[in-house]
């Protein structure tokens, strides 16, 4: 029996897919349908519009139906397609990496803000602790052309993904990747240290959306019983490896910024500005500087 999407026009298939996703309770059905159809056909929005009357082939309809079923089952579009845009750059994903989220761009914004206040006599050195896909580090290297960066992760699969992203973005000669726990294998010193660590309390993970709890790696989510295990480990390590005047910027979960600032202060870091909020108003990027001794 042929696929019901076969011989539908591109526009008709898009409408049918959006309706199916909407009936499954997905909030962004229209956007998801456009992205999935565009991926199957290798067309951007302009192409989808200009070729709206073209019928789908049997192979295209079959692939689209498979994507639709995966999305309805709770798999995020970025996981289905294997890529996600972050900071205007394309990033390949793997099962060992988080899907980069717009909230995390706040960390990049704060890091650039603090970097531009520094006066350096050497090429900038950046460390990204728990780099995953390499999104934060590579976004910063893209913005700071003479910088060199190191990303760490416990997962060799994540590090392989980050290396491939660095190569695809033309940044491989300025990025290195190291397998270790937080910053334990790094010597420093660094001018910027950034991190989006695991910060979800372990007991809260089963309550997360299916897109996150079933498809994001738990190693990158689980922050221990209270959500602060990673911060307790990485903040003192980062403080030791920063140059005087260097900055540490970490992503925080909702309601965590104040406690993270306390951990930074306990590591003799100076809190010189409030956390930077994301577009939802949640304090997201928490930062501090290492003051000269």
Q: Judge contact between 158 and 184, C-beta under 8 A.
A: no
Return the number of other C-beta atoms located less than 10 Å from residue 13's C-beta.
26
In whole angstroms, give the CA distance from residue 174 to residue 78. Answer: 27
Q: Name the pLDDT band for 293 (thresholds 50, 70, 90).
A: confident
Kindly tell me the number of DSSP H helices and DSSP E strands found in the chain: 11, 10
Tokens of 148: 């060199």
Q: Which residues pair with 83 in a beta bridge?
A: 92
Q: Is the pLDDT of residue 2 over 60?
A: no
In whole angstroms, give the CA distance from residue 266 to residue 280. Answer: 29
pLDDT recorded at residue 1: 42
Which 8-state DSSP code applies to residue 153?
E
Q: Name the pLDDT band for 58 (thresholds 50, 70, 90).
A: very high
């Amino acid at each position: 029996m042929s696929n019901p999407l076969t011989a539908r026009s591109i526009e008709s298939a898009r409408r049918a897919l959006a309706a199916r996703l909407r009936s499954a309770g997905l909030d962004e059905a229209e956007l998801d349908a456009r992205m999935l159809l565009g991926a199957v056909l290798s067309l951007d929005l302009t192409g989808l519009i200009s070729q709206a009357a073209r019928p789908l082939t049997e192979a295209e309809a079959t692939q689209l139906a498979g994507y639709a079923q995966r999305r309805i089952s709770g798999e995020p579009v970025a996981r289905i397609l294997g890529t996600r845009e972050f900071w205007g750059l394309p990033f390949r994903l793997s099962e060992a990496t988080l899907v980069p989220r717009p909230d995390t761009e706040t960390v990049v914004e704060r890091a650039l803000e603090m970097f531009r206040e520094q006066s350096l006599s050497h090429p900038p050195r950046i460390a990204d602790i728990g780099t995953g896909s390499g999104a934060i580090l590579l976004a910063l290297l893209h913005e700071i052309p003479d910088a060199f960066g190191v990303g760490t992760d416990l997962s060799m699969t994540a590090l392989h993904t980050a290396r491939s992203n660095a190569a695809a973005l033309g940044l491989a000669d300025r990025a290195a990747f190291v397998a270790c726990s937080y910053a334990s294998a790094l010597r420093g010193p660094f001018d910027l240290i950034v991190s989006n660590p695991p910060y979800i309390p372990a007991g809260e993970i089963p309550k997360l959306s299916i897109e996150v709890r079933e498809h994001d790696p738990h190693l990158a989510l689980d922050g221990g019983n209270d959500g602060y295990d990673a911060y307790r480990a990485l903040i003192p390590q980062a403080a030791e490896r920063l140059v005087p005047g260097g900055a540490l910027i970490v992503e925080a979960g909702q309601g965590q910024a104040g406690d993270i600032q306390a951990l930074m202060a306990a590591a003799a870091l100076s809190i010189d500005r409030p956390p930077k909020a994301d577009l939802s108003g949640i304090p997201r990027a928490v930062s501090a500087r290492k003051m000269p001794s």
